[in-house]
Amino acid sequence: MTGSDAQNLARSATKVRTLADLAKIAGVSPGTVSRALAGNSLVNAKTREKIEAIAREHGFRPNQMASKLRRQKTGVIGVAIPLGHDVRQQISDTFFMTLLGHLADELTEKGYDLMLRRVIPAQDEDWLDRFIGSGMVDGVIVIGQSDQFERIDDVADGYLPMVVWGNHQEGQRHCVVGSDNRLGGKLAAERLIASGAKRLAFLGDTQPIEFAARYAGAKEVAKKLGVSIRALPTHLAPDRTGEEIAAHLGKIEGEIDGIFAATDTIAVTCLKELRDRSIAIPSQLKVVGFDDLPISSQTAPPLTTVRQDIAAGAKGLVDLLLRRLNGEDTESLVLPPHLIVRETA
Amino acid sequence: MTGSDAQNLARSATKVRTLADLAKIAGVSPGTVSRALAGNSLVNAKTREKIEAIAREHGFRPNQMASKLRRQKTGVIGVAIPLGHDVRQQISDTFFMTLLGHLADELTEKGYDLMLRRVIPAQDEDWLDRFIGSGMVDGVIVIGQSDQFERIDDVADGYLPMVVWGNHQEGQRHCVVGSDNRLGGKLAAERLIASGAKRLAFLGDTQPIEFAARYAGAKEVAKKLGVSIRALPTHLAPDRTGEEIAAHLGKIEGEIDGIFAATDTIAVTCLKELRDRSIAIPSQLKVVGFDDLPISSQTAPPLTTVRQDIAAGAKGLVDLLLRRLNGEDTESLVLPPHLIVRETA
DNA sequence: ATGAAAGCGCTAACAG
DNA sequence: CTGTTAGCGCTTTCAT
C-alpha cells in the first residue's frame, strides 16, 4: 500500500474538516487545536504531537478564509497589471512577464501569496480602489503606470501599502521602483552618436510615460550634440510592429542612420525588417534597444541595448512593500540602467 | 474640488467599514444592504439606489473574506507552477509566461481571480495538497507536470476541480490540456528529413515528460525512415544553454546535419552558436524548434518550428476547469501542433 | 496548559 | 419587500 493509498483511506474514513472535528477526536478544545497547529509554545508537547498526528492522518488543513477573516490579514499581495495604452501586448511583453516571475519568487520567499489581476482601466474606472478595498490583499504592487499615473497618485494618499513599477516623476506621491528611463535614453543616444549616427529616430509609442522619458533623454542628448531626432510611432504588439516598421522604413529610407527602439522587442523586429531589406547593421544603420532581454544577446547581429535590472527591480518592489506594510513611508527607488554594447551600434 | 478630493473627504468623515455601518446610515437592516449590493432583485429600487449612493459616497467595499467564508466559495482559481527539473528557468520560460497571460485573460473574463503560486516540489512534498486544501481557491490549474506526474495523478482521484497543462499519457487519471507532443516530434523529424537531413540530434533535456514525448515522436520517425538520431542534453536556462550547445557543437562537428530543439528558446540560442561558427543554415545544418514563440519569426534565418496554440490551450484549461467546478468529469484535451515552415529546415 | 466564549463581516434561510 | 437570526471556521482574550 503506497503512501497515497493510506492517505486516501484516512480521508474517506472520518471527515475532519474543521478544527472542531479534530478537537473532538483529540479530546481537546478547538482553541487548543488552533494553538497547537499554529505552533504556539503554550501547548503541551504531548498534546501538540497528538494533534499534529491526527491532522496529518486525516490530511486536515485549516480553512484560510476563516483564519484570514479572523486575523484581519490575508497574507496575499495583489499584483495589478493595468493595460492602458496597448491592451493586447503589454501583458505578454517579455519584460513584464519576467518581472512577474521574479516578483513571484520574492513574494513566495517572504511567505506571501500573489494574486494577479489584469485590468483594463478604460473598462473599469475603479480598478485600483476595488482591488485595494476588496479585503483580499494586504498590499498591492502595480506593474506599469500605463496611462494611470493620476489615478495611482490619488490613491496613494490614502493607502500606504502600494508600490508601483514605473517611471519616477518629480513630486509624485506614490512610491515607485523603476529604472531611470531618461538616463537610459541618454545612454542610448550617446552610443548611437558615438558610433557615428547623425540623424536619429526613436522607434515606439511615445505616450506611455516610461517611453516618453526615454525619448526625452535621447532628445536632450541629440540637441546638445547637434543631431536630429524624430519619433517613429509603433505599437507594442509584435503582429503589428512588423508592418509599421516596414512602412516607416519605406518612407524614411536614407533619412536616418540611427534607431533607438523603445524596447528590445521592438528592436528585434526592427532588426529583422532591416535584414529583409539588406540594410547593413551597424555600418548603414545603427540600432540600440532597451531592456536587455535574454533574446537580445542572440540576435543577428547581437543587440546593443540599455539594460534594466529586472531581478533588482522585483527585489526592490517587494522590499519596499513589506516595509510599507509595517507602516514605514518609503522613498521611491530609481535604478540606474546600464549600456550593454554589442554589435548593432 | 476634484473627484478624488470628494472621495477622500467622504472617506474621512464617517467610517463605513461594514454592512452594518452602512445599514445604520441607510436606516435598513444589514440583510437588506447585502441584498442590495449583491444586485438581488427582491429589493425595492428606491432602497437599492439609496444604499448604492451611500456606499459610493463612502467608498464602501464589502469584505471579501467574510463573504467567501460565508458562501464557501472564493472566486479564485489557483495557478501552480511546479519547478521540478530546471528550477531557475521554467518560470521565465516565455512559453509558460505567455500561457499564464492568456490564462489571466480567460479567468478574468469568467469572473475569477488568479492566485499564482510557484512551487519547488523538492522542497515541499505537500505542495498540491496544501494549495487545494488551503480553502483559498475553488479550483487549481497546474502549469506543467514537471516531474510531478505521479503526485498529480494521485491527487486527481479525490479532487475534481483540477486541470493540468501537459502531456497526455494513456490511462492517466488527471485531466490535462496540452499539445500532442509526440505528434509534434514526428512533424519536426519528418521536416528535417524531408529537407535532406540524415543524422539527427534532439537538443534539450529528455527528462520532462513533454520533452520525452517530443523526442520519442522524432525517434519513431527517424527509425521508420532509417535515419539516426541522438540526444544532446541541455538545460533550459539560457545562461547555461549557450555554453552547453557550444560544447556539443564542438564535439559533434560534422556528425549531424539536423537538429530538433526541444523548445524555440533553445533553438534560438542554437542558431546563434551556429552563426558564430559560420555554419550555414539550412544548407549545412537544419534546425526545427518547438512552440512558435513570437521571436521565432524574427530570427536569422526565421525558424522553422512546431506551433503550440497557446491561446487555445488557455481557453481549454479554463473551460474544462469551469465544467469540473460544476461537477462534470471532463476528458483531457489534446491539441494538434502545426508545423510552421520557415527557413531553417 | 487548557477550556469557554465572543466575535471577524457577511449571507441566506425563515418569517413576516 | 424587509428584518431577524443563525452561523461559515477560525483565533484570541479571559478565566481557570
Q: Give the one of A62, A118, A298 whose C-beta lies nearest to B269's C-beta.
A: A298
pLDDT tens-digit map of B282-332: 999 999 999 999 889 999 999 999 999 999 999 999 999 999 998 899 999
Helix or strand holding residue A140 (H, E): strand A139-143
What are the residue ranges spanned by the domains of chain B?
2-62, 76-179+310-335, 181-307
Using the CA of B45, give the nucleotide whose C1' is nearest: D1
Contact positions of strand D to protein Cβ (< 7 A): 1-5, 7-13
Strand B199-203: give its sheet, edge to edge: B228-232, B199-203, B258-261, B286-291, B304-307, B338-340
**Residue A239 in grid coordinates:** 503582429
Q: Provide the pLDDT confidence category of residue B1 given band limits of 50, 70 and 90.
A: very low
Q: Give the one of B76, B104, B238 whose C-beta lies nearest to A294's C-beta.
A: B238
The mean pLDDT of chain B is 89
> Across residues B220-242, what is the average pLDDT?
89
pLDDT tens-digit map of B141-192: 999 887 889 999 999 988 899 999 999 999 999 999 999 999 999 999 999 9
Q: Measured between alpha carbons, how far is B149 from B144 in angstroms, rounded to an integer?
A: 9
Alpha-carbon torsion, ordered B218, B221, B224, B226, to 10 deg: -60
What sign does the dihedral A183-A185-A188-A190 (CA atoms) show? Answer: negative
What sign does the dihedral A252-A217-A141-B131 (CA atoms) show? Answer: positive
Asked if the Cβ–Cβ distance from B114 to A115 is below 8 Å, we say yes
**pLDDT for the residue B333:** 97
Range in A307-311, B126-130, B280-284 the model is least confident about: B126-130
**pLDDT for the residue A9:** 42
Chain centroid, CA A234 distance in Å: 22
**Does the pLDDT value for residue B42 go beyond 70?**
yes
pLDDT tens-digit map of A227-248: 999 999 988 776 778 889 889 9
Q: Which residues from 48-67 of A have any strand D atom under 7 Å from their CB?
A: 62-63, 66-67
Q: Provide the pLDDT confidence category of residue B35 given band limits of 50, 70 and 90.
A: very high
Question: What topology is assigned to A181-307 in CATH?
Answer: Rossmann fold (3.40.50)
**pLDDT for the residue B9:** 43
Range in A301-310, A329-338, B95-104, B206-215 the model is least confident about: B95-104
**Residue B245 in grid coordinates:** 550547445
Q: How many residues does chain A have?
A: 345
Q: Measured between alpha carbons, how far is A174 from A153 in angstroms, rounded to an integer?
A: 5
Chain A residue at shortest CA distance from B150: A4
**pLDDT for the residue B319:** 97
Q: Provide the pLDDT confidence category of residue B2 given band limits of 50, 70 and 90.
A: very low
**pLDDT for the residue A238:** 66
End-to-end CA distance of chain A: 65
Question: What topology is assigned to B2-62 in CATH?
Answer: 434 Repressor (Amino-terminal Domain) (1.10.260)
> Which of the two residues, A9 and B219, has the higher pLDDT score?
B219
**pLDDT for the residue A8:** 44
pLDDT tens-digit map of A246-282: 899 888 878 999 999 999 999 999 999 999 999 999 9
**Is B2-62's fold the same as B181-307's?**
no
**pLDDT for the residue A34:** 95
**Residue A162 in grid coordinates:** 502600494
What sign does the dihedral B133-B134-B139-B142 (CA atoms) show? Answer: negative
A30 beta carbon < 7 A from strand D?
Answer: yes
> Are A79 and A103 spatial neighbours (Cβ–Cβ below 8 Å)?
yes
pLDDT tens-digit map of A64-86: 999 999 999 899 999 998 887 65
Asked if the Cβ–Cβ distance from A61 to B11 is below 8 Å, we say no
**List of E strands, A169-245:** 175-179, 199-203, 228-232
Closest to A218 (Cα-Cα) out of A131, A306, A114, A335 = A306
Q: CB atoms < 10 A from the CB of A269, how many?
A: 27
pLDDT tens-digit map of B56-79: 999 899 999 999 999 999 999 999
Asked if the Cβ–Cβ distance from A298 to B59 is below 8 Å, we say no
**Does the pLDDT value for residue A124 go beyond 90?**
no
> Which of the two residues, A334 and A157, has the higher pLDDT score?
A334
**Does the pLDDT value for residue A11 go beyond 70?**
no
Q: Measured between alpha carbons, how far is B185 from B217 in angstroms, rounded to an integer?
A: 4
**List of E strands, chain B:** 76-82, 113-119, 139-143, 162-165, 175-179, 199-203, 228-232, 258-261, 286-291, 304-307, 333-335, 338-340
The mean pLDDT of chain A is 89
Q: Provide the pLDDT confidence category of residue B254 given band limits of 50, 70 and 90.
A: confident
> Are A202 and A262 spatial neighbours (Cβ–Cβ below 8 Å)?
yes
**Does the pLDDT value for residue B84 go beyond 90?**
no
Q: Give the one of B8, B133, B271 whose C-beta lies nearest to A157's C-beta.
A: B8
Nearest-Cα distance to chain A for B17, in Å, is 10
**Does the pLDDT value for residue B262 go beyond 90?**
yes
> Across residues B123-135, what is the average pLDDT?
85
> Across residues A208-226, what is the average pLDDT?
95
Q: Measured between alpha carbons, how far is B272 from B279 in angstroms, rounded to an integer?
A: 10
Asked if the Cβ–Cβ distance from B129 to A74 is below 8 Å, we say no
User: What is B76-179+310-335's CATH number?
Assistant: 3.40.50.2300
> Across residues B5-33, what is the average pLDDT?
76
Q: Provide the pLDDT confidence category of residue A87 given band limits of 50, 70 and 90.
A: low
Closest to A317 (Cα-Cα) out of A163, A209, A121 = A163
**pLDDT for the residue A208:** 85
Q: Provide the pLDDT confidence category of residue B6 given band limits of 50, 70 and 90.
A: very low
